[in-house]
Amino acid sequence: MKRIGIIGAGQLGQMLGFAGQNLDVEFVFLDPSPDPPASVVGPVLRLPFDSDEGLRQLASDADVVTYEFENVSVSAIERVCADTIVYPPLDALRISQDRLSEKQLFESLQIPVPPYRTIDSAQDLRNAANDIGLPLVLKTRRLGYDGKGQAVVRDEADLSDALTALGGSNLIAEQWVPFDCEVSAICVRNVRGDVLVYPLIENQHRDGILIISRAPAEANGLAALATRHLRQMLAHFDYVGVLTIEFFVAGDQLLANEFAPRVHNSGHWTIEGARTSQFENHLRAILDLPLGDVSPVGHAAMLNLIGSMPPKNLDLGSDTIFLHDYGKRPRPGRKLGHITVVASDPADRDRTVTRLSEILVAQANPTGIADCIDLSG
Ligand code: AMP
């Protein structure tokens, strides 16, 4: 039986652990939190993510090491896990940690990005506002996630406050993209180089946090273009594992926003909505097993449950609605679980999503859903 070491024991680790129940594998996690979601699927080494002792123990306990979030120390992993197989490749992790190197990589691979400038001073920001125009989005280069570490600047009077709020340097100013929609593209590549691509996913965010994903996306006509971009990235890194790119759709253009070298929140629907989930396929990829079929089994939607969970006895009234509770303590803005709906056609799916949203907003009021679904009708 193979042992997989995972840095991070959050909900992504938990779902990887559940997916591993179909395979002959065991897990060990590294996470300092007292009661992380993945503790239900394997032992957790309760040490900091970048501690030499924790990483050494994880590496010695595991045949292959992977990670479930990006903000882990690449240099610590390189130092301690020199003789360990780590997938996805650490180069992908390193580049994904810095928005500037991420954009430079996209550009070098001819993957279009929104116009941007690097910002290290007030003068840089004034120049950027002149060059790329307002509104713009100011973002920290490192450690931003779920809309944290960014500010939308609508007029010149706000430039200085935004700059101060984000620390004044090591920033990126990006043109505000009046996108038609946002999509993510998820693919998987195993050690022997087989590649499969899930259908394109349409995502709705509120305050930078993902609220709803639908797949296959209406914009699935852009799937071939997205696949071309994914393949450029896979080849560049000689990549192994699940890889996600998030894009803005503007007409028939895809503008890359960011990539994640890991399983992704916008792919949770694949647990029930695809023949093989992104989680199982990530494990298959890093173990060099044949990949599983990525075809959808219908039309799926996923609603993130943020800040509060519905009551335990909530009757969802259908066997095509699946509630996932990560077992986390409620806190404002925290992802506590998600619900997936699978239907035979998009209209049916969207009716169920609206009905479900009404129930959720009435009973639990998780953040964001009411802003993303029109409940007025
Ligand atoms: P990010 O942390 O870069 O993924 O940004 C989170 C969300 O903020 C995105 O999914 C978009 O909804 C929004 N956003 C970020 N950058 C831009 C942009 N340049 N133009 C328009 N919306 C953006």
Q: Is residue 38 part of a domain?
A: yes
* Torsion of the alpha carbons at 124, 126, 128 and 130, rounded to the nearest 10: -150
What pLDDT score was predicted for residue 317?
Answer: 66
pLDDT digits (tens, 9 = 90+) for 245-277: 999 999 999 999 999 999 999 999 999 999 999
Q: Can you tell me which atom of ligand 1 is nearest the CA of 176?
A: 20
Nearest Cα residue to atom 11 of ligand 1: 208
What pLDDT score was predicted for residue 368?
Answer: 83
18 lines ligand 1 (CB under 6 A): no
Judge contact between 203 and 248, C-beta under 8 A.
no
How many A from CA of 33 to the centre of ligand 1?
Answer: 29
pLDDT digits (tens, 9 = 90+) for 128-143: 999 999 999 999 999 8
In this structure, what CATH number is given to the domain that contains residue 128?
Answer: 3.30.1490.20
368 lines ligand 1 (CB under 6 A): no
User: Same domain for 213 and 169?
Assistant: no
Give the closest residue to 222 by CA, choosing from 174, 270, 254, 256.
Answer: 254
Tally of structural domains, the chain: 3
Q: Is residue 192 part of a domain?
A: yes
In this structure, what CATH number is given to the domain that contains residue 43?
Answer: 3.40.50.20
Which domain covers residue 121, as residue numbers? 115-175
Q: Is residue 105 part of a domain?
A: no
pLDDT digits (tens, 9 = 90+) for 146-158: 667 899 999 998 9
State the residue for tokens 């992380």: 36
Over residues 25-49, the mean pLDDT reads: 97
How many A from CA of 208 to the centre of ligand 1?
Answer: 6
* Torsion of the alpha carbons at 22, 189, 264 and 152, rounded to the nearest 10: 180
pLDDT digits (tens, 9 = 90+) for 276-300: 999 999 999 999 999 999 999 999 9
149 lines ligand 1 (CB under 6 A): no
Domain termination site, one of 175, 191, 215: 175
User: Same domain for 161 and 256?
Assistant: no
User: Same domain for 171 and 60?
Assistant: no
Q: Is residue 96 part of a domain?
A: no
Q: From start to end of 171-226, where are the E strands?
A: 171-175, 181-189, 195-197, 201-206, 209-215
Q: Give the pTM.
A: 0.96
102 lines ligand 1 (CB under 6 A): no
- State which H helix or E strand residue 372 sits in: helix 369-372
Query: Mutation test of ligand 1: which of 70, 98, 137, 254 has the most ligand atoms closer than 8 Å to its C-beta?
Result: 137
User: Same domain for 335 and 260?
Assistant: yes
Which range has the worst mean pLDDT, 184-193, 313-322, 326-335? 313-322
329 pairs with which residues across the strands? Answer: none
Give the closest residue to 71 by CA, choosing from 167, 151, 144, 170.
Answer: 144
Domain termination site, one of 130, 146, 175: 175
Quickly count: other Cβ atoms within 10 Å of residue 108's Cβ: 10
User: Same domain for 167 and 277?
Assistant: no
User: Same domain for 215 and 344?
Assistant: yes
Higher per-residue pLDDT: 228 or 369? 228
User: Same domain for 224 and 238?
Assistant: yes
Dist. CA 327–CA 156, nearest whole Å: 44
Specify the pairing of strand 241-250 against strand 181-189: antiparallel
User: Same domain for 219 and 365?
Assistant: yes
Query: Mutation test of ligand 1: which of 99, 246, 257 has the most ligand atoms closer than 8 Å to its C-beta?
Result: 257
